[in-house]
Structure 1
Amino acid sequence: MGVAGKQERKPAQVSKDKEVNFVSLVITVAVGAIIWFIGAPTGLDEKAWHLFAIFVATIVGLIIKPMPMGGVAILSITTVVLTGTLELQDALSGFQNTTIWLIVIAFFISRGFIKTGLGNRVAYVFVNKFGKKTLGLSYSLLVSDLLLSPAMPSNTARGGGIIFPIVRSLSQIFGSDPEDGTEKKIGSFLTKTAFQGNMITSAMFMTAMAANPLAATIAGEAGVNISWTDWAIAALVPGLVSLLVIPYFIYKVYPPEIKETPTAAQIATEKLKEMGPIKKSEWSMISVFLLILGLWIFGEKIAISATTTALIGLSVLLLTSVLSWDDIKKEQGAWDTLVWFAALVMMASYLNTLGMIPWFSELMGGAVSGMSWIWALGALALIYFYSHYFFASATAHVSAMYAAFLSVSMAAGAPPMLTALILGFFGSLFGCITHYGSGPAPVFFGSGYVTQNKWWGIGFGISVLHILIWVLVGGLWWKLLGLW
């Protein structure tokens, strides 16, 4: 019986470990093959068209996921080389990109927040100080997210790994659970607010979400160099306004039944007592965070780049044993990001070099010809934002559309830096509209506290607010900064 039982379990284990969905893989390959064999349009180099076919197939693969993202990227790089579209050294050139290494190293640094418990401590401190009312409790969670976001490029890890467990715990303590129909007591409000706040903080720093450095890299290929400081300063005012307005909007249109939460502060106090005084490792983490934040802001004045800063921070964490090399090896999200990020950056770069992006820009430029750059940029930005309904990944969306929309807007006369930043910010903000359009969305939505109808309805209302805030308030701020 024991042997038979073992034999019965083996097939299930094989099935569980199987990573390739061959139906999705065939669809992905078919899309690329169709584009490949259609043939290059007049005026476009054949290699550029072939690379475009592989690029589109890669984006489809990232969306329908025939295998993990890293696997899709490896297949794409291999295809680029085997088809003779690019030489091997060109196909691997993405791994030399310093912005890619910035985001990868930032993943490692963010592990320190989780390992030391500092991320949870920060959140509980703010809940303790400002959590006596439900609205104040939501703001405390958003401020926690904001403070962690510059050094945590995985908004899924930040929102789903640190903020969401606290939201879930607080909701259940106040007797709010979707399983017994009490989700509207407080859980629905906190879940929706924490998620939407994560979308805002993701837009505010280049290192707050993985697609942001990708946008900055693509902008650099178009001649628009965005520094970490450029991004943060431009996003500061509209970002803070959004963080103030959005929770209040949700509070009004989707109000919690419990308006007062006097015991939240007590709960946070108990959690902090359980954690004890700040540990040596946490002090080291705080010191490194302040060091890298300072160098990201002022480092360029002393010739220290953002990526060098990240390397300095990681080195200190290793020297102080806050992180071990085993921690680095186990950070799967970072290594996965390195592979797919390198593939996308490589293809985006060579699509520009081979003439695909300039060709498309000239073609699309005709659609907005005769329009002032303000109206052209506005129309293109709206299309860029709401086309996210068709994407299950911010990275896939940015990869597919950012370069083209940037180049067309610039061809219409829009100021390059302004255009690059607006599209960059929208690359995070458009995650607000659906329950599948960003990494943290399935985590928060999967808790069952918010129905799909409410998620989409409130999300659309928030998208309108974001556009108004970032265009009107942001527009005035960017005028003061001299961006237009």
Structure 2
Amino acid sequence: MPPADREASLEALLRGIPYLADLDRVSLARLIGALEELSLPAGSLIAEEGAAADALYLLEEGSVRVTVRSDRGEVEVADVTAPGYFGDLGLLLARRTGSIRAVTDVRLWRMPRERFEALVRERPQIALSLTRTMAELLDRRQRSLVGAPIVETERPPAAVPALGVARRTSLRLTASLAVPATLWWLPAPAGLETAGWHVVAILIGAAVAWFLEPAPDFVIALAMAAAWGITGTAPLAAVMSGFASSSWLLALGALALAGAMIRSGLLFRTALLALRRFPATHNGQLLALLIGGAFVTPVVPLSVARVAAVAPLSVEIARSLGYPPRSRGSAALSFAGLAGYWYFSNIFLTGFATNFFVLGLLPPADQQRFGWLGWLAAAATAGIVCLGGASAALMWLFPPEGRAHVSSLILRRQRRALGPLSSAEWIALASLGILVAGLVLQPVIGVEPAWFALVALVIVTATILGREQFRSSLDWGFLIFFGILLGSSAVLQRNGVDAWVAGRLLSLASLVGSPQLMVLLIGMLTIAIRFVLPSRPTMILLALALVPAANALGMSPWVVGFVILACANVWILPYQGLEYLIMRDATHGEAFDDAQGTRFGAALVAVRLLAIAASIPVWTAMGLVGSR
């Protein structure tokens, strides 16, 4: 057989194995490189029953026979003729379950077990496919033994790339590049130097890319940083300064701590504990999810993880109350879990990683003032209004179909299964105490909270997460995105963009006339932009533009940053809310429908604006609005 034909035959042999059929070409090429070729004469013993199982075999030419020992001697089990494969169980078991002998001269390819295991570590879905194949084989054998008809299992269709996806991505990428390329050659606006205009042009191009999404957001951020560096508009130290900031290190430590709390089970235990403290009625459990989530929020700065953890609990409560899928009662409980574990993310400094971004934009004196307690004190009024408004919206929009009580049996079983606090949970709890103590005591002891975050990071990584979990538990894409955008603040300041924006906003503020009204306008502007941009780019871009100019608007930079964070972290239409989509997927679409979600999302937007309006008099009394 010509070499080219043999290579094609070998690839076909590998593709003929069900759990390797969809292997990507790179993994396939690496696997081919690990195969060992064998040529054996008829009668050769290839594998012996009871021997160590160490390989899978691909049969290119010839045929083999599989036998097992019995009281009557050797019993034939199966014949395999080329092209085919055998020895699957050798990938799962320690010993061979049968003997395999060549019936004719054979040409084989041997796949070592250790190479297959390495592939499974890289692509865990192969293990699931292998298990499915083994189960189908066992089912066939059992049916054959009793003479039952063979049931053909329908395999899920292989994923086929959507037509035109590559073309649409190319068009989006072209548009994202065309915008800054066009703006680059336009004259700089009055009051802004050419270098500053070039920085703005690249930033606008990134904003277009975040809207069109030709690539993940962190890739776009990296491209923006590279463009600033290559064009000479900013030095490397300025562009990458965000990764050396206290805010980035706080986010790193907080996200690692969140991963440790999830992995140890501490987050799930905390959610169960909150449910136990409230009456076993519909309204009692609704408030348990809302208020319990508000208490959990400051200790787990990852809203996605909080929502994913509470989703199954809310469904179990709805079932125990006897609510049918997508009923008002079911929707109310799931939305209570969603609101409780997400809606208060910006009320607490440690409730949302992006809060640290705004903290990093504040002047040093304000960073000292708005530590953990200072942030909470300034945001408390908004938090109280959000809690009351969310509760009222749930009870008004989704009154339950009847009166019911929750069976405590499910919660009791879950608590029993969890048992007492494990050592991992105690370690996560102690690490959390270290981080919170650093944030709370920072104004007193004068030590950067980032150092406490690093101590917590070291503890949970050394004891709970380990190397592999450290890689998989943290959202590294977000951390890259976060670090680049923190550094972009220095780039804008270096090129005078912040002063130019402040000048433009000062003119606008003089037209509006009232700093209090300007606060509401910033909130409404943020909500409007959310129909176009995802939440993170909206928060980052508006904060970069407006927080440094806050004093010119007659208000504290913290107020501007908080309003942007709070009003960007909402949804009306389903596609706008990442946490909403996670709750919907985690409940398999059975808890509520998108029409219910849209009504509740719109209500939360109205509550958010009401919370901002209610906070304005408090902020004015605190000297944060109108006295700058």
TM-score between both structures, scaled by the size of structure 1: 0.87
Distance in structure 1 (CA, Å) of the matches to 2:213 and 2:474 = 17
Deviation track 1:43-77 (CA, whole Å, cap 9, x = no partner) reads 21122111112222223333332222332222222
1:228 equivalent in structure 2: 372
Distance in structure 1 (CA, Å) of the matches to 2:296 and 2:328 = 28
1:166 offset after TM fit, Å?
A: 1.9
SS at 1:85 equivalent: coil
Deviation track 1:88-135 (CA, whole Å, cap 9, x = no partner) reads 333222221220111111100111111111111111122223251122
Select which of 236, 250, 265 maps to 1:117. 265
Q: Counterpart of 2:428 in structure 1: which amino acid? A: M
1:90 equivalent in structure 2: 238
1:171 equivalent in structure 2: 318
Select which of 441, 454, 458 maps to 1:315. 458
Alignment: residue pair count: 471
Greater per-residue helix proportion? 1
Distance in structure 1 (CA, Å) of the matches to 2:561 and 2:311 = 31
Q: Counterpart of 1:35 in structure 2: which amino acid? A: L
Deviation track 1:410-437 (CA, whole Å, cap 9, x = no partner) reads 3232344444443444343xx1434233
* Identical counterparts, % of pairs: 20
2:406 equivalent in structure 1: 262
1:413 equivalent in structure 2: 554
Distance in structure 1 (CA, Å) of the matches to 2:501 and 2:335 = 38
Give yes or no for the alignment of 1:205 onto 2:352: no
Select which of 163, 174, 177 maps to 1:26. 174
1:9 offset after TM fit, Å?
A: 3.1
Q: Counterpart of 2:305 in structure 1: which amino acid? A: A
Change (3 A) 1:386 1:445: farther
Distance in structure 1 (CA, Å) of the matches to 2:241 and 2:559 = 28
Change (3 A) 1:384 1:133: same
1:441 equivalent in structure 2: 580
Select which of 22, 25, 32 maps to 1:9. 22
Distance in structure 1 (CA, Å) of the matches to 2:594 and 2:247 = 36
2:361 equivalent in structure 1: 218
Deviation track 1:332-384 (CA, whole Å, cap 9, x = no partner) reads 40x22221112112223311331122212222332331412222333233222
Deviation track 1:168-213 (CA, whole Å, cap 9, x = no partner) reads 3433455556xxxx31153211222222333432111122113212
Give yes or no for the alignment of 1:483 onto 2:624: yes
What is the 5 A alignment of 1:51-200?
Answer: 51-130=199-278, 132-159=280-307, 161-174=308-321, 176=323, 182-200=325-343
What is the 5 A alignment of 1:28-43?
Answer: 28-43=176-191
Contact 1:54 1:79 in 2 (8 A): yes
Greater per-residue strand proportion? 2
* Structure 1, unaligned runs of 5 or more: none
Deviation track 1:395-416 (CA, whole Å, cap 9, x = no partner) reads 1001221233335553232344
Distance in structure 2 (CA, Å) of the matches to 1:412 and 1:252 = 38
1:292 equivalent in structure 2: 435
Distance in structure 1 (CA, Å) of the matches to 2:310 and 2:624 = 34
Select which of 544, 548, 557 maps to 1:403. 544
Distance in structure 2 (CA, Å) of the matches to 1:28 and 1:98 = 32
SS at 2:350 equivalent: coil
TM-score between both structures, scaled by the size of structure 2: 0.68
Distance in structure 2 (CA, Å) of the matches to 1:317 and 1:412 = 43
What is the 5 A alignment of 1:452-467?
Answer: 452-467=594-609
Contact 2:281 2:406 in 1 (8 A): yes
Distance in structure 1 (CA, Å) of the matches to 2:274 and 2:243 = 39
Contact 1:435 1:441 in 2 (8 A): yes
1:357 equivalent in structure 2: 498
Contact 1:373 1:413 in 2 (8 A): yes
* Structure 2, unaligned runs of 5 or more: 1-11, 25-157
Contact 2:256 2:461 in 1 (8 A): no
- Name which one, 1 or 2, has greater alpha-carbon Rg: 2
SS at 1:277 equivalent: coil
